[in-house]
Amino acid sequence: MIGRDDTGRRWSIGEVARASGMTVRALRHYDEIGLLSAGERTSSGHRRYTGGDVRRLYRVRALRTLGLSLEEIAIVLADSTGDLAAMHDLLTAQLRGLEAHATRIQRLTHRLRGLLEQIDGASMPDPDQFMTTLEMISVFETSFTTEQREQLARQRAELGPEAVEAAKSEWEGLVEELLCHVQDDTPVDDPRVRALVARWDALGNRFHAGGDAGELTKAAAQRVWRENSAEIGRSLPWPADRLRDLVHYLERVRQTG
């Protein structure tokens, strides 16, 4: 890792979980798959994370926000030859993403101010202006490109409203069943769990096109959930923390192959 941890400070798994917004279970999973292990243990066996461990976790979390899977992150970290150079590249990529995000916010802010100025001048903006603003909000909130949104809309149209509603009901049932397994801590290689996750993935695939285009919309959808899980969770009947645990559980099941 980068340099030497001069402070000598150590963090418990609970402290790291709170600071990173992750669950203790997810951190333990990272340990199990060799992605992030605590550098030290107390005499009673409790994990203690060093400064180097925290820097590695930052890299993992940053790469996740860039859309990489846990498997891809492990490869990136394994191939890193120089910590300073690798961290510089990662921070640069993350900064570019944030700058692009800030640009979208700035454009949307400018558009909304323009609408307000027209209303303050006792003039109602025309429908085209509202449509343009709605499109900007949609892109901002979902992180999908225009092409991806159009592609997803085509997939839903091809399925038809009845199939979409049926898929929604099936998904709700899968969430309930899988949450029970999360609560019971059912082993991720349990055949029952693997069958449920296979159904989950097959259900999701119906809403995405085939080939590389579909893989991109899947990755975008996963990124939307990771970045907006709290907001999305408010519109769903399950607590956001349980849904986050479910997402981590699904990833663990998929890791088993």
Q: Which helix (H) or strand (E) holds 40?
A: strand 40-41
CATH class of 13-79: mainly alpha
User: What pLDDT sits at residue 100?
Assistant: 67
What DSSP letter does each residue of 103-145 carry, written as one string? HHHHHHHHHHHHHHHHHHTT-PPPHHHHHHHHHHHHHHHH---
Mean pLDDT of 79-86: 65
pTM of the model: 0.45
Look at residue 52 and tell me whether its pLDDT is greater than 70: yes
The per-residue pLDDT of the chain, averaged, comes to: 77
pLDDT tens-place string over residues 183-217: 999 999 999 999 999 999 888 888 887 776 677 77
d(CA 191, CA 126): 57
User: What pLDDT sits at residue 121?
Assistant: 76
d(CA 36, CA 121): 57
- CB-based burial label for 249 (10 Å; 0-12, 13-18, 19+): buried
Q: Where are the domains of the chain?
A: 13-79, 81-142, 144-257
Indicate the pLDDT class of residue 66, thresholds 50, 70 and 90: low
